[in-house]
Chain A
């Protein structure tokens, strides 16, 4: 047993480079672009709990509050000029209508004084009604293109979500599985940010062909830091 006493108190927020643009990776699973002042998050899946409740699985109805709370802490840290949600911001089309009043005002408070862009995803193809911000299929950030679903084949400068990447490694005979940023330096796939969003191993076939052979690095999210693991060390589930 190795104890937490050994962890250094300072957080590690590495800067990583996508198509030459320097982006800060936060252990909560968000990217910050210091040049434009934009904070990028993917796959919030707001109201996933109530979506399951409709079908009889009464998951705790606090996922939206948790996700927005996490986002609020990031907004406090970076004071971003813009927040860009990379699609699947709501778990289903009825999600915006099921927001509680408290969550709706929390969201409005986050949006105050900054740009807010809802990029559409497969779970939320239409702009979320009554939730502020502007909706868009894609966005650009300097030389970067932001969209929900990663395009097939190699893409320079694409920032996407959708796949919920997680990486698995074995250290000292133990498996560790964590959400991660997946990048080959040319493009990046963000981890899902939502409190109830599951994950898909980056070695899964769904990631096939996205990254230049041998160039994948998984930036795994720890409690206090983001850790770069070379693709060769990553394990399938």
Chain B
């Protein structure tokens, strides 16, 4: 038997080296009468044959669709060789053309710069080997200005780029000339792009290119998704015929081998470290060629990395990769991985997409993957041989997570995909696009409306809202028309909108894009010196920058605190300007244990399966003994939540009274629910003190005995969970919600209300921007609560940070289906959520309580009671914890 089949990213199969199971696979997909090598022009057929390769069925199918000028979507598992399939039609067309150099022919768009670069490299080989006169160039944010200019004057045949660069080209006065020759746009990783704001931006750009290039055909490349029809719609303009793109799908291949890690160690009650499993993970790394270890948060990645090195007696090359690390360091890790020099990488979602590494043969998932699609895609990063199973191990970090991991595994093995969050396109993105269009060419408002509503994200947009967006772009769109004389775009006598002056266009160019980074600070190795006057200065020139860290994390630390970063325990020395100075610490345990980053809420699909496992004790046999015992205790002392009803427990604990509900709707929805329920409990005189939310449950505590209130008819749980909480209560909460302010800030930046980058100005720090958008939010909300930008922010928050849709669906489902259990003490199922108490953020008016506390305790400690302060804190305040 020959060596196993190993299709590379460019998709060829070494036909001469097929083993038997690969033959079986190919035979199964090659139905009789399938197109064959004969479908290729001679030059390509020879090239394939010369290397002993055979074109694959999906490559030929895409070719056939391209010949018929039909838009197409290719769905294939990771590593099945999508990319060459996407390019083959363009290569053939260009090879057959009488002359090349006739202008831009094909645009390839990828969400990752690195992918564009990698694809350029992979394409160059066949083009050179076949001697094709095709010029291929990349264009990213890193491309030198000179080359970018030249690309506009003398475009390559193929341009490999990102959505942001495409948006910039749309807003170029030469856009018409540049795009009129384009025949094909290939969108890679469409499943990842389409549900995002970058996807909205790209859809709008595609509509614009279609208007300029009548011959345009699109090709989408995607991983397996739940609803291919949505992506097929995304790729077409229904005004031009077909309502959906053609579908080419590679199915089959071996089912993945996913197991849930079992341990003889004690499984923790809560937490996400997974420390108990490290020795066994280390063993697995040793036994495999290359292991990819995914963590849900950077904190978890840091911890895993550190724990593995603590026991790394063989000094195996194990590396760390996450978004906060310095870019240079990340590139080094990626290069080492590509060269096969690493035994394992611990990573976050930064490695979810990107260049495929052929040698990975094991994926370890730390903690619950939270969703089936993520688990499948990450598992697909291991072993790109279609005939052999990809192997993954999920490591539950606590007792409850075992259930989630089992549920996610079931869902993945059943081939279930998470529901894509299809959502209407963002009005903020549309505003950025409208200004961009005006910067490129004067536009007619009605024609642009038709163009915009031909895209999938904006097909439901009404004319009036579109008009509001245009007015917003022009003058801010306020009822008070005081900015007409400062308009950014104006409608001239010919009825066309034009940009008012070149400075507006220049400012737009500097602010294109929809990715808003959290404001971060550089982490720098270096000692500091404190002067007698209390000033802090760097001692010497300071050391190297090792990465960036979110500002809000730094805010929680005091100089001297230790934390984990880049696989080391660091001591926070000082913050000087926009850099935090740190030194290596000798301590074993970091004082500040975690920082959040990229935590994903549990998907509905996996949540439903967790409920199903709970509800069906016959399935418990596959759970570890510790988890089984725990559920048994729950059965005895309370009840197991079933699928149809919402279980609500009330019980006293440590002088306070708790209400715990188990909606299984994910952390974000629970947080929103917690905010709204506490407001209502306050009105019902239950005197709530606080709440905490996890992915499964929600706990509220207060001073009144809620069991007694329900028994005495003073509190109705049906009324408490009534859908009407989404009215005034929601409205009142949003007014002060920091989540809403953060969402508004992002919309304001994307829509161009606030400029991130100002011409000729020193780059503003994120802090100043945060300050001013909060002030703007307060003013706008009071004066124009229906302003288009507030609508945009509300829509984002409802789908995002406050997950309103899920809350609404949930409330509808549980109406009159609440099962109340008054208990005399905490239930076993409530233990994990109660262990989370004290880790949650604080919002709005509650900050006054913290201010008062600080004023009292800090001042009294430092200098005794100050004259002028009247009174002390509210009774019981300190005991609220």
Q: What is the interface of chain A, defined by CB distance below 8 A to chain B?
A: 1-8, 12, 14-17, 50, 53-54, 56-63, 65-66, 98, 100, 168-176, 178, 195-199, 205, 208, 213, 217, 220, 222-225, 227-230, 232-233, 235-237
Contact = CB atoms under 8 A, between A and B. Distances in A.
Contacts of A197: 775
B862 A62 contact: no
Contacts of B692: 1
B852 A5 contact: no
Nearest to B534: A213
A26 to B, nearest CB: 13
Contacts of B477: 58
A1 B840 contact: yes
B688 interface: yes
Interface in B454-486: 472, 475-478, 480, 482-483, 486
B480 A61 contact: yes
A66 B779 contact: yes
B690 A2 contact: yes
Contacts of B124: none
A14 B483 contact: no
A222 B476 contact: no
B870 interface: yes
B753 A57 contact: yes
Contacts of A230: 858-859, 862-863
Contacts of B503: 56
B771 interface: yes
Contacts of A213: 533-534
B851 interface: yes
B859 A228 contact: yes
B182 to A, nearest CB: 31
Given A169-B858, A230-B859, A57 B478 contact: no
Contact of B682 (A3, A169, A199): A3
B483 to A, nearest CB: 5
Contacts of A61: 476, 478, 480, 482-483
A61 to B, nearest CB: 5
A6 B874 contact: yes
**Which of B476, B784, B877 has the most C-beta atoms of chain A within 10 angstroms of its own C-beta?**
B476
B854 A233 contact: yes
> What are the 10 closest A-B residue pairs judged by CB atoms, nearest first?
A58-B476, A175-B555, A227-B855, A1-B690, A4-B845, A14-B868, A222-B848, A62-B783, A233-B858, A60-B780
A174 to B, nearest CB: 6
A4 B868 CA distance: 23
A87 B719 CA distance: 54
A152 to B, nearest CB: 14
A7 B849 contact: yes
B230 interface: no
B480 A62 contact: yes
10 contacts: A1-B692, A1-B840, A58-B472, A59-B476, A196-B776, A199-B771, A217-B866, A222-B852, A223-B848, A227-B854
Contacts of B862: 230, 232-233
A56 B776 contact: no
Given A170-B556, A196-B776, A228-B859, A7 B845 contact: yes
B782 A12 contact: no
Nearest to B703: A5
A222 B846 CA distance: 10
A170 B688 contact: no
B842 A1 contact: yes
B846 A3 contact: yes
A63 B851 contact: no
Contact of A1 (B536, B678, B859): B678
Most B Cβ at <10 Å: residue of A60, A66, A100, A213 = A60
Contacts of B555: 168, 170, 174-175
Given A53-B486, A228-B855, A2 B504 contact: no
Counting chain A CB atoms within 10 Å of each CB, the highest count among B475, B687, B849, B863 belongs to: B849
Interface string B846-879: 1111111111001100110011111100101100
